[in-house]
Every structure is written in C-alpha cells, then in structure tokens.
C-alpha cells in the first residue's frame, strides 16, 4: 500500500515580537520623487552615498533654505539702502520681532512633522489628512489668541522700540499665519516631500522681493515691509494647501487629541526656543555689555559664524521625519542620527578649520572691511560655538522625534551658563566670545552624553501599528 500522504504543513507564524516592523510599513509607503530620482540613470555615475535619498533630500532642502535666506538678506539690504539708517531702523526692529514670532512657526512645523511622519510612512494618508485638519484648527485658534496678546502689548512695544503703532498691529497677523505655515510645511516634512517644501521656502523669498518695488514706489516703509511678509505668508499657506490636495478625506477618523499636541509643543518649544535664543541673543547682549565698536565686531563675527549653522540645518530637517517614522515603526534610529551628527561634524569642522587657519582671508572675502580683521583671532573659537549649536540642533530634533523630554535639562544648564557667564565675564571681546563658546559647547556635550546612553528597543509590530492609530 502506498504510504499515507502527509497533510501540508501549516504556515509558520512568527512570534509577534520577531516580525520586522519596518517591512510592514515600507510595503505601504509609496516611493517619492526623490526615491525615483535616486535610482534613475541620471545619477547612476554618482557614488551611492551621494545619490541616496537622504543626501538628495538634504541637497533639495538646503537649496530651498539657502535661496530663502539669500532673498531675506537681499530684502533687508535693499531696504536699508533705499530707506537710509533712520527709516530702516524701524523696519529692522519689526523684522526682529517677526523672527521671534517665527519660534511659533518652527514649533508648529516640528510637532506636525512628528505626528504625520509615522502615518505617512505607514501609508495612512487619510490619517495624515485628519491630523493636518486638526492641527490647522488648533494653530488657527492658538494663533488668534496670540494675535490678541500681541495687540494688547503693542503699546508697550511701541514705547520701547519707538516705532509706529500701526505697523505693530499689522505685524500681529503674522502670529496665526506663521503657525499655519508651520503646520503645512510640517506635514510636507513629515511626508518627506522636500521638493515641494523647498518650493514653499522659495515662494516666500520670491514674494517678498517681488513686493519690494511696490513698497518703495509708494513709500510704504515699515507698513510696506510688514505687508510684504503677510502676503508671502498667505501665499505659502495657499501653496502648502494646494500641494497637500492629494490627501484623501479623513474626517471619519477620530480627532487628534489637544493635550498630546500641547505636550509635544511644550517639549519642542523649549528646545527650539533655546536654540533660537543662543542664535540671536548673543548679539543683543554684546550690544549691551561691550562697547559700540566691539559690539559691531562681534556682530560681524556672528554673521560669519551663522554660515556654519545655516549650512548644516538641512541635515536635521531631513533627519527629523525619518527618525520619527522609524521610531514609530519600532526600528532602530541611531544609524540615521549618527550619520546626521557625522555630516554636521565633518562639514562644521571644515569651516572651523578654514576660520582658524585663514581668518584674515575669510574676513576680506566675506566682510570686506579692514576693521573686522581684529576678530581674526576669535573667529575659529566662535566657529566652535556654532558647531556645538549645530550638533545640539540635531540632537534636539532627535529627542523630540522619539518623545524624550529629559533633554530640556541640558538646555536649561546651557541657558544658565550662557546668561550667567556673560553677566560675569564680558570684559573684552575675547572674553565674551570664550564665554559664549563654553556655554554652548557644554550644552552640546551634555546632549551628546544623553544621546550616548539612550538604548531604545524596537516595538513589536502590533504595538507599533496601534501607536499609528492613536
């Protein structure tokens, strides 16, 4: 008799904790334009590292950010030349206030990117749409409240800055508009669509420059400068909404909770606010503590140092949504973060080396004023401060992406060293520069130590998918 046939073996079911979570999500996420470009024949001759989606996204984001930065510089420089020192002083004060308002923009952008990145990676486009709608509503309500507060304190700002009340009242509208732009850009960042995100930055720069002839022709001065900013923000909002029109209807999903958004905003706000303060406050403190001439020298040195920070900021922007998605998927994120830290360090050290070995040549090429050559012996030291700030910026985005809040203590220590140190040690330009560098780099080292002891474990697939729906 023939042997009895054996029944087919049942399919092997992997234990839940052994399933590779990333494979589940990567099958769902559609390839982006950058993904297709990375594998195209056009870039075949480039080394694999340079044509990776990570590097291509960095290049795209850097290009858009660079254009926006150059356009902003040109906008202010042309205004300064056309209006003269007296009238431009009022415009410069209003633009400085707008930069502080931008903290809300960056917080909104970070929070929306962190929420939508895991959903986009999982192919949950309808949930991305739901999150976009809910966060836009929250940003509108919060922005209108902020606008009311801004208008309420406008008389105080008017007295302190000696500017007109009208431009201040108009400037208050940038609060809700900036937050809405941050939400739209954050969703694009979360979807890792860096090409339309860069176009959004470029739109802002083009709009402000295009408004400049109108501003000057009708002698609008401060009011015109604020109107140019408002028009640019409105167009950026419309462009973001148009770019995200592909998102399917998502109103059938449960509304995004307000309290988790507030908690994320507080953590992100703390980190990004301190980075922004370090990036801007040293110039104001130099103006207060140093002589006018030394404060002017420090401002020139700060301008050169910011090249390092702006030159590496795209790395953290590209890293952030990827780390948020990987973390939600239960996958290890340290490889991406280590790569980002390495790129920032290598690029930053190249600038530090140039500033240290050839400071006079750098100053002649970029500042073109003989008196600024006096900052030559401090330029390399200050570049180390900006390198520390750039590394800290990467780590802040990492901690926000993986829902860690302990990093706030490092920021607090850095702030205490920064303000306390400058209050005590400000006798000369060299002493002031050394104090700033020690404070910022100490904070960066503490953040690096916190990162080094992090050991996040991948989540089982069921848990990761459950977190996608909450």
Residue 6 lies in a domain: no
Residues near 287 by Cβ (< 8 Å), separated by ≥ 6?
295, 299
DSSP structural state of residue 464:
H
Query: What is the per-residue pLDDT for 22?
Result: 40
Q: What is the rounded distance in angstroms from the CA atom of residue 227 to the CA atom of residue 271?
A: 30
| 250/274 same-domain check | no
Report the alpha-carbon distance of residue 69 to residue 347 in Å, rounded: 19
- Provide the pLDDT for residue 13: 37
Q: Does the residue 113 lie in any domain?
A: yes
Same domain, 283 and 241: no
**Cα separation of 450 and 455, whole Å?**
10
Residue 459, token pair as written in the block: 């989540």
- Does 126 share its domain with 240? yes
Domain extent at residue 385: 258-453
CA distance 108 to 466: 24
Look up tokens 């490092």; give the residue: 410
pLDDT at 435: 93
Write down the pLDDT at residue 387.
95
Give the pLDDT of the chain (470 residues) as one tens digit per residue.
444 444 444 444 333 333 333 443 344 444 566 666 666 666 667 666 666 777 777 788 778 877 887 787 777 767 766 766 556 667 777 777 887 888 889 888 888 888 888 888 777 888 888 888 888 999 999 999 999 999 999 898 888 767 778 888 999 999 999 999 999 999 998 888 888 899 999 999 999 888 888 877 777 778 888 888 999 999 999 999 999 988 887 777 777 777 777 776 776 777 777 787 777 778 778 877 888 778 778 877 887 888 888 888 888 888 888 888 787 777 788 888 998 999 999 999 999 999 999 888 888 887 776 777 888 888 999 999 999 999 999 998 898 888 788 888 888 898 899 999 988 888 888 899 999 999 999 999 999 999 988 755 544 434 444 444 44
Whether 263 is covered by a domain: the verdict is yes
332 & 377 share domain: yes
Residue of 327, 56, 60, 320 lying closest to 186 (CA atoms): 320
In angstroms, the CA 379 to CA 116 distance is: 40
Domain count, the chain: 2
Is residue 220 exposed (0-12), middle (13-18) or buried (19+ Cβ within 10 Å)? middle
The distance in angstroms from the start CA to the end CA of the chain is 60
Q: Nearest Cα to 439, choosing from 462, 463, 420, 458?
A: 420
Six-digit token string for 368: 């073109």
- Statement to judge: residues 380 and 312 lie in one domain: yes
Domain-embedded: residue 379:
yes
Q: What is the distance between the alpha carbons of residues 168 and 80, in angstroms, rounded to a whole number? A: 19
pLDDT attached to residue 38: 60
Residues near 346 by Cβ (< 8 Å), separated by ≥ 6? none
- Extract the tokens encoding 158: 């008017």
CA distance 357 to 175: 43
């Amino acid at each position: 008799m023939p042997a009895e046939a054996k029944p087919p073996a049942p399919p092997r079911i992997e234990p839940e904790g052994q399933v590779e979570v990333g494979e589940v999500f990567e099958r769902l996420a559609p390839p982006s334009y950058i993904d297709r470009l990375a594998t195209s024949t056009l870039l075949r001759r480039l080394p694999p590292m340079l044509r990776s989606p990570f590097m291509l996204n960095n290049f795209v984001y850097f290009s858009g950010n660079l254009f926006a930065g150059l356009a902003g510089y040109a906008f202010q420089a042309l205004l300064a030349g056309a209006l003269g020192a007296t009238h431009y002083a009022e415009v410069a004060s209003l633009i400085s206030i707008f930069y502080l308002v931008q903290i809300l923009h960056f917080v909104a952008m970070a929070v929306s990117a962190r929420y939508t990145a895991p959903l986009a990676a999982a192919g949950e486009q309808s949930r991305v749409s739901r999150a976009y709608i809910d966060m836009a509503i929250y940003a509108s309500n919060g922005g209108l409240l902020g606008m009311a507060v801004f208008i309420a304190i406008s008389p105080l700002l008017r007295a302190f800055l000696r500017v007109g009340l009208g431009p201040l009242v108009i400037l208050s509208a940038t609060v809700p508009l900036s937050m809405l732009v941050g939400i739209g850009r954050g969703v694009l960042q979360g979807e890792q669509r860096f090409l339309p995100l860069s176009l959004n930055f470029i739109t802002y720069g083009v709009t402000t420059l295009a408004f400049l002839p109108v501003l000057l022709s009708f002698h609008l001065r401060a009011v015109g400068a604020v109107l140019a900013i408002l028009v640019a923000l409105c167009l950026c909002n419309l462009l973001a909404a148009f770019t995200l029109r592909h998102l399917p209807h998502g109103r059938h999903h449960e509304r995004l909770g307000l309290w988790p958004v507030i908690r994320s905003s507080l953590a992100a706000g703390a980190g990004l606010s301190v980075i922004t303060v370090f990036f801007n406050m040293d110039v104001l403190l130099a103006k207060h503590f140093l002589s006018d001439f030394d404060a002017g020298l420090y401002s020139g040195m700060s301008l050169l140092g910011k090249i390092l920070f702006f030159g590496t900021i795209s790395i953290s922007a590209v890293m952030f949504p990827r780390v948020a998605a990987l973390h939600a998927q239960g996958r290890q994120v340290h490889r991406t973060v280590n790569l980002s830290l390495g790129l920032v360090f290598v690029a930053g050290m190249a600038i530090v080396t140039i500033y240290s070995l050839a400071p006079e040549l750098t100053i002649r090429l970029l500042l073109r004023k003989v008196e600024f050559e006096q900052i030559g012996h401090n330029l390399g030291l200050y570049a180390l401060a900006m390198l520390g700030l750039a590394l800290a910026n990467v780590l802040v985005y990492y901690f926000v992406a993986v829902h860690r809040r302990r990093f706030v203590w490092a920021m607090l220590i850095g702030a205490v060293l920064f303000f306390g140190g400058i209050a005590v040690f400000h006798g000369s330009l060299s002493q002031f520069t050394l104090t700033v560098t020690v404070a910022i780099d100490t904070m960066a080292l503490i953040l690096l130590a916190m990162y080094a002891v992090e050991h996040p474990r991948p989540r089982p697939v069921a848990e990761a998918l459950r977190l996608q729906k909450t």
